[in-house]
Amino acid sequence: MKLKIAVLPGDGIGPEIMKQGLEVTKAICEKFGHELSYEYGICGAQAIDQVGNPYPEETHRLCMESNAVLFGAVGDPKFDNNPSAKVRPEQGLLAMRKRLGLYANIRPITTFESLIHKSPLKDELVRGADFMCIRELTGGLYFGRPQGRSEDGTVAYDTCVYSREEIERILKVGFEFAMKRRKKLTVVDKANILATSRLWREIAKGMEKEYPEVEVEYMFVDNAAMRMIQWPNYFDVIVTENMFGDILTDEASVITGSMGLLPSASIGTYTSVFEPIHGSWPQAAGKNIANPLATILSAAMMFDYAFNLKEEATLIQEAVDASMSQNIRTSDIQVEGEKGYSTSEVGEWITAYIKNH
């Protein structure tokens, strides 16, 4: 099979973790006889510095011409600490989502038995947690217009907008994932306050009859945030709007003990993007200490969701599980008393495992 991917390392630790994700991808393609072609593109702070645009036209063209996109991270303190900056790295991420039609962000939340001790929750609460967060990605407050500030600068405003079409397509993703899993779907909203949430709930209730096997419940976002900490095993598939999903998925990510372990997929109209959920961690850039597992697992999601190559995805997941069980880990998740491995050492071990199994 011919696989063409765009590689966007981005900022901070992005290039280091992406190198390992790409090496794993190449090893899988070689093992299973796939023909891989890839091309690098710039985005984020790096792209602002080079061309003044966090998502340049050349990068967009590359993404549109590729079957999938492997993405690192964007962000740089020089922009975070400058509230008057007109252009920011994160604007490139939003532009990429909008222009590629990346409407569904999929984040699996699973626990590693060997990492439960790192979770901020008690072992008995987090053990066995396994649920999926599906976040709408191109609507809501982040994209609604009008948006801005008054002329005198004393008032700022954002607008939350959702159309029936946007809601229906993301709910369909939620229902279909629920059908593939334990057939339970939690629709998270704020329907007691927000008109957009009431439309979400109305549409979801209308779609229930199309999926009679799925048990559907409706939960306000504040209750969902609390329930996620009290009883993470409660959930199977969660579907929600953009801002609520942004907050809940970051909350869910730390349940497992480390943000550095969780991948994500952003499914789109034109192509799909696969990326770790953590940030660019600029303080660690160039130090070869960042955990590459989330990027490597994002490559596994790419083989599964973009190319429907489940055997290939399973082997990557097996290799990551093996590295964890044998304590081949970066220092941030290493067992006390064991040696911490570098980014490249972890990636090379996983690549070797794939080649030998």
Would you please indicate which residues are annotated as catalytic (active-site) residues? 142, 190, 222, 246, 250
Q: List the alpha helices (DSSP H) in the chain.
A: 14-32, 44-51, 57-64, 77-80, 89-100, 123-126, 164-180, 195-207, 221-230, 242-253, 293-301, 310-325, 343-356
Two tokens, residue 87: 């252009």
Do the Cβ atoms of 12 and 291 come closer than 8 Å? no
Contacts of 334 (CB under 8 A, 6+ apart): 327, 340, 341
Phi, psi of 347, rounded to the nearest 5 degrees: -60, -40
What's the Cα-to-Cα distance from 124 to each of 110, 128, 232, 259, rounded to whole Å?
15, 9, 10, 20
Do the Cβ atoms of 129 and 116 come closer than 8 Å? no
